[in-house]
Every structure is written in structure tokens, then in C-alpha cells.
Structure 1
Amino acid sequence: MITQQDSDTREEMDPRQELLCEDFGSDHICLLYHTEVRWLSRGPNCTVTEFISKLGAFARKLDLWMKNVESKRYGMFELLTTLESEPSDELAQEIVHHLSLLKAELKHYFPDVTCCAYIANPFSVDPANQPVGTGEQEELIDIQADETAKTKHKECSPLNFWVSMASSYPTLARHAVPQLLIFPSTWECEQGFSAFMTIKSKSRNRLAAPGHDFRCAVSKVMPRIDQLVEKKQMQPSH
């Protein structure tokens, strides 16, 4: 539902701010004025380690974008560069403020996100850089001298490797395995709600229950259009 306040905001919004929202891939052009809106996770599930890497990379991109905007470089916002005139200082400040709020939200929800340095490759990590007294340093030295483990590491995925090493190097495996599990995500749930809202819209609320349409919208099975068409009989001309 769009409130009167939302309508007023839409009318007052600078067209250049609309372009900024489109550059961010936003579904709504008024998100800059509603910083309390929580952007839920998007995309398929990934492991904890992959999530940490992507989160760290995104935080670094935010820092880079803020520096670029402060230097009046807007090349990362393609639609914004299509304007005939350069964005005003007020708009630049609005962009920086928006990016800083987004980074603050990330730090609020994920204040201390780190992963084990030896998860991907325990043979390239200096044991001296690991915590003292946890047993990780000693087990890293042992596994780096283990030729069987080196061969296994080349043949297996990281998760399968650490599961197979659990009995030989329990301390390392105990830290590594949890971070290689799938990170819980609301993506599929959000996708389902989005599909349902598109199907059960105001313009078609008098149609039959959208059960079959909904299943087709969220199914991962690709439709075999050619086979479906072959089974249909063409209507003869009258």
C-alpha cells in the first residue's frame, strides 16, 4: 500500500535520485528516503565462508564508492552518468549518506564476521599466525607434513576434505566444517512471496485460486515447451 507520505515523497524526489535507485537495482525508487527498510538477502544459498567473502567484498565496494562520489566520480552508477549536467553537491552528499547508512547496517547485523584462514588451503598458512593454546598451531604443522592429506586436498572439495580429516585433525576440522555449511537464507521464501504478490494482484483477484500458477512460478524445473506444444491440437479455421 502506498501512503500519502510515500506519494508526496515520490513527487518531491529528484529524477537523479530515481536514477541512483535504478543503478542499485532497487525495486522502489523511494528507498533513499526510507533507510529503516531492511534489505533482505538475495540470491541462492551459499556457504558461510562464501557469504563472509562476499560480505567483506561488498563492504569494500561501499568504501570505494563513497570515495569516488566524494571525488565527483560517478562511473560506477551508469545511469547517473547519462545526465546532461553533473550531479549537485547536495545529491552527492545524499549518495554518500545513503552508502554510509548501508555500511552501518551491515556492521550492525554482522559486527564480527571472520573465517578460519586455513579453510581453503591449510598448506599455505603460517601456523604461528593462529591462536596459541587451542591446538590449531600444532595440528597445522602436522597436516602440512602429511603427504596423504595433501593428495586428498587436491582431489576433494573443502567440505569433503575436512570431513575426512575430522578423526586425524579434530581441532582444525571442528573449526572448518561449520563454516563450510550452507548459510541460512530467506531468499527462497522472499522469492515465493514476490511471485505470489505478482500472481495474486488486484487486476486478477477475481480469477480462480492461483495454486498452479504459483507452483510454476517457484519451481526449479524448466518447462518442456516443445513437448507441450506438440500435444496441443491446432484449431481449424472456420
Structure 2
Amino acid sequence: MQGRERNVLNVTDSINAFKDKLKLWVERLATGNVRVSFLVPHSLVDKKAPSASLLTDIKHHLHSLIAEFERYFPKLDPRTEQLMSLTRNPFRRNVHEIAEQLQKEFLELTNNSAIKDDFKELSIENVWVQAQKLYPNINLATFKMLIPFASTYLCESAFSVMLTIQSKSRNRLEVEADLRCALSTTTPNIKIMVSSKQTQKSH
């Protein structure tokens, strides 16, 4: 779930995948199939069948983990799921599943072959940014899925960079400009920057 190129859509997919894995592990545990999912506990018992108490502890832990994930990440309401599906790929949606005020734009969008090709080649974010002027109302809805931070990764990485720049020996340093440079993903064009500066003249 960590990383720069993360949004609510792919983080939700990762969470749902992990929930399903937990349920699969519980099913395997019920049948006594511990070898595939739990290599570490199996190695701890020297390739012997794990004890009943160990299996009970693992089962209890998995059920607690499933309950905690269900509490922390509850099931999404149908409207949110439809909006997420629309954001992922509008060409797989039906016009009757879209809100009435968006249906006109939706039909124009789904008949735009250029944007359909863009969904195959570009990232979701880039496609919707390019389509913003043509379909502003649908874009406003999809941006609600793409703009929010999906995790605290960017904040944590920025804080780590700040701690590196502003150490105890440089505690009065103004870090705003340095932090902006350190966190930027834009590669500077050194030639343009140098050409805009005047060389130092000798006195």
C-alpha cells in the first residue's frame, strides 16, 4: 500500500486481496493444509504435523485479523463502488448505472475511441486529466476517487527527508526550498537554467 503512484482504487484492491487471502488461509487451516500458507510454523515443528494448540492459536489469530480488517475497512456502499468502477474504466459501465445528470457526458465519453485507446496505454490519472475539458462533470466525480491521499506514505517520506536536511547542527536552517527540491520528481533542465544566468565578470 506504500508508494508514490497509489490511489484509493489500487489501495482498495490490495486490501480486498488481503482479506480474501485471510479467508483462504482459514479454509486451508480447517482442512489441515498448513504447508502451503504457513511455511514458518511448519518449519518450527521440524516437518511434523503441527500440534492442535498451535493450529487453534493460528485460527484464533486469523479470525481476529479478519474481524479487525472488516472493522477498519468496512464494505463500501454501492454508490461508491459504482463511482470506483466508472473511474477505473467507464467503457465497462452501463448508462443506466450512471447518475442522470452525468448520462449525456457519459454517452459522449464512451463513444470517444481516442479516450478508449488512452485507457489501454496511459495511467488512469493521466487519462482523466486529459479528458477534463471535454467531460468536466464526470471528471469532477472521478477526481473524488483519484485526488485523496490513499496513505500517509508521502507525508512520512517528506518528514524523513526533512530530518535529513535539518539536523541538530543545522536546526535554524529554513528548509522549505531545499525540501521542495528534495521531494520533487521533476528533472531540472540544467542547460536552460544556466543559460538564463549571467556569468561572473572579472573586475
TM value normalised by structure 1: 0.54
* Alignment correspondent of 2:55: 92
Aligned 1:1-238 pairs, distance under 5 A: 43-45=2-4, 46-74=6-34, 75-82=36-43, 83-84=45-46, 85-113=48-76, 114=81, 116-128=84-96, 130-133=97-100, 135-181=101-147, 182-185=149-152, 189=156
Alignment check: 8 A CA contact 1:116 1:175 kept: no
What is the distance in 2 between the residues matched to 1:155 and 1:79? 41
CA drift of 1:81 comes to: 2.3
Structure with more contact order per residue of length (Cα contacts < 8 Å, sep ≥ 6): 2
| Cα distance change on mapping 1:132 and 1:180 into 2, 3 Å | closer
Alignment check: 8 A CA contact 1:66 1:99 kept: yes
Per-residue CA shift, 1:66-102, capped at 9, x if unaligned?
1111111112111222223212222212211111111
Per-residue CA shift, 1:38-63, capped at 9, x if unaligned?
xxxx7435211110000000000010
Structure with greater proportional helix content: 2
CA drift of 1:104 comes to: 1.4
| Cα distance change on mapping 1:95 and 1:125 into 2, 3 Å | same
1:119 partner SS? helix
Alignment check: 8 A CA contact 2:86 2:93 kept: yes
What is the distance in 2 between the residues matched to 1:154 and 1:79? 40
Aligned residues: 156
Per-residue CA shift, 1:160-192, capped at 9, x if unaligned?
2112222332332223223223413258749x8
Per-residue CA shift, 1:85-132, capped at 9, x if unaligned?
21222221221111111111112222134461122222223333x255
Residue segments in structure 2 that go unaligned for 5+ positions in a row: 171-181, 184-203
What is the distance in 2 between the residues matched to 1:168 and 1:176? 14
Alignment check: 8 A CA contact 1:119 1:176 kept: yes
| Cα distance change on mapping 1:187 and 1:171 into 2, 3 Å | closer
Identity of aligned residues (%): 23
| Cα distance change on mapping 1:187 and 1:61 into 2, 3 Å | farther
* Alignment correspondent of 1:224: none
| Cα distance change on mapping 1:186 and 1:124 into 2, 3 Å | closer
